[in-house]
Amino acid sequence: MRGKPLVSIVSAGLSKFGKIEGMYGRELFAEAAKEAFERCPNLDPKRDLDALFVGHMGESYEHQGHTGAVAADWAGLIPIPAARVEAACSSSGVALRMGIYSVLSGLCDVVMVGGVEKMTHRSTPEVTEFLAMASDFPFEQWNGMTFPGLYAWMATAHMHKYGTTETQLAHVAVKNHYNGSLNPKAHMQKEITLEQALTSRVIAWPLKLFDCSLITDGASCVILTRPELARKYTDTPVHIIGSGHACDTIGVYEREEFTSIRAARIAAREAYEMAGVEPGDVDVAEVHDCFTIAEIIAYEDLGFCNPGEGGRLAESGETSLKGNIPVNTSGGLKAKGHPVGATGTAQAYEIYLQLTGQAGRRQVADAEIGLSHNVGGAGVTATVHIYRRG
């Protein structure tokens, strides 16, 4: 049955993304939770919430583990069961999957799923080292490979195989910065030109400064319930109708191809089949653009275009706000920011806004079907979720 709900989102919250001085990650999570509670006055958090799942990549940033309990404490949810979910940059995308499991199992009626990361108080070399822990240690980290390097490897392979150009990469950056300029919670709220993107300093060729996502602080959350209970809490639920999750080798060097992310293709296929929809049915999507090449590859892995055509799709304008398939209306990781543990449910937050008509100046008209695509590491873990307006 097309669009049969697995679970329903009845509320969502997002902290401001950016360089947030003087706040711990736990305070950012409390900010996101507060918005979610205020959006859903029919929900009593202490009475109704059965569990909390929090995506969080690393203890290193704040020298703090036990994130589930910390987040529950600061969101005022003690003593409900709470747990941290770790899957690198896809931590809260996987946490969302865990929340779906918990509701479908019948053990929980209402759960909060979210994510958080506080990163900007650390130096760029420190953040680079902490992020690299999501790659293979003996063969990648030990030999000096970083995520800009790994995605540059994927970009050059895509360029060699398909003729993808630096200008096509830059079009992704320009689009997402424009969308970010319309998002009051985005880290980077300013437009850039194609020339600025192309002439920015090289980080790992062909990736330049404006091809790379931001080191960001932030938190996000959504509240899930059984579909038959959704109208008890809101008149405008958003149903999750498909969910996919897959993994690939930790080492990129072990894969047969570098121009596609197999885990994302598998997760997308699972989600589409579960939802009973096809790529052409998607009205708005949030994809994991940690680097501009990652968005181009996502177009192909998600079936928005054929393999090798992602660069031309970016250049065509079809993924802009006024295009046939608007992608990263929030500004994406590229402009909204990438507080790694928070990214998956931040994507869900944007889709929730779009499907309930609350996205303001970046609203996609008549959006009914949404998709989020969250990737951990260099394609090691991927989740894809498909949403339908209630």
Q: What is the pLDDT of residues 13-68, one digit of tens each?
A: 999 999 999 999 999 999 999 999 999 999 999 999 999 999 999 999 999 999 99
Look at residue 95 and tell me whether its pLDDT is greater than 60. Answer: yes
Look at residue 1 and tell me whether its pLDDT is greater than 60. Answer: no
| 89 among known catalytic residues | yes
For the record, the structure tokens of 233 come out as: 């809490």
Q: Which residue in 40, 89, 108, 212 is the catalytic one?
A: 89
pLDDT in tens, 314-330: 999 999 999 999 999 99
Look at residue 291 and tell me whether its pLDDT is greater than 80. Answer: yes
CA distance 338 to 66: 21
CATH architecture type of domain 7-123+214-389: 3-Layer(aba) Sandwich (3.40)
- Domains of the chain: which residue ranges? 7-123+214-389
| 338 among known catalytic residues | yes
Q: What is the pTM of this model?
A: 0.97
Q: Which residue in 158, 187, 239, 338 is the catalytic one?
A: 338
Look at residue 351 and tell me whether its pLDDT is greater than 90. Answer: yes
Distances, alpha carbon 305 to alpha carbons 173, 274, 279, in Å:
19, 21, 9
For the record, the structure tokens of 282 come out as: 């998607």
Distances, alpha carbon 9 to alpha carbons 15, 225, 352, 353, in Å:
18, 7, 8, 11
